[in-house]
Chain A
Amino acid sequence: DAGVIQSPRHEVTEMGQEVTLRCKPISGHNSLFWYRQTMMRGLELLIYFNNNVPIDDSGMPEDRFSAKMPNASFSTLKIQPSEPRDSAVYFCASSLGTTGSYGYTFGSGTRLTVV
């Protein structure tokens, strides 16, 4: 099992540019989560999908952020236009079930720097 795969590992972009982060969940997992981690705010849940359908996007900071899950094996998180305050590590995680007893498996993250 290759685990949750995120790409790219690092991304440096200029303010105003579009950024797309990618995630491949573990095969068979039916829930997918996008988190953002910063020193100031810790870990924040941005959005999650269940069976490819967005269930809760209340953590998405603003309209510049969007996420899609076109199929069970792929998800993207897009920021357009990017701003320096978006600099953070973005994690994708997947889970087998939706009940509380299931933990999440996290990817290694994408470190985004907006200059």
Chain B
Amino acid sequence: GNSVTQMEGPVTLSEEAFLTINCTYTATGYPSLFWYVQYPGEGLQLLLKATKADDKGSNKGFEATYRKETTSFHLEKGSVQVSDSAVYFCALRTSQGGSEKLVFGKGTKLTVNP
């Protein structure tokens, strides 16, 4: 079945450090890939997405490239801020037999210290 594996957290960084959160997936067909962010006490927000191989999604300084050959969609940011502290979820979406599903990874908690 379809699944997403992302790096275990928590991740703790200092402000302005480089961030990478790894995400790999298993899926039939050609899924769309997403990163969502969840701030404390809030719902998930779409951060960025990519719908086909080699696409790069970007938003708020975050980037992720859809790598079909390595089935990966790693999230990166060159210089994190305290306000980036949140839980980050990698997800994929396919349509199987007319039943679409957004499948999430378990989430990676990021804490950025000043």
Contacts and interface: CB of A to CB of B under 8 A. Distances in A.
Nearest to A3: B43
Contacts of A43: 44, 89, 104, 107
A106 B44 contact: yes
B46 A103 contact: yes
Interface string A54-75: 0110100000000000000000
Interface in B43-64: 43-46, 49, 51
B43 A56 contact: no
A36 to B, nearest CB: 12
Nearest to A9: B41
B43 to A, nearest CB: 4
B100 interface: yes
Interface in A44-90: 45, 48, 55-56, 58
B42 interface: yes
B26 interface: no
A4 B45 CA distance: 11
A101 B99 CA distance: 15
Contacts of B44: 43, 91, 93, 104, 106
A45 B104 CA distance: 9
Given A48-B100, A106-B36, A106-B45, 4 more contacts: A31-B100, A43-B89, A43-B107, A55-B98
Contact of A100 (B45, B46, B94, B104): B94
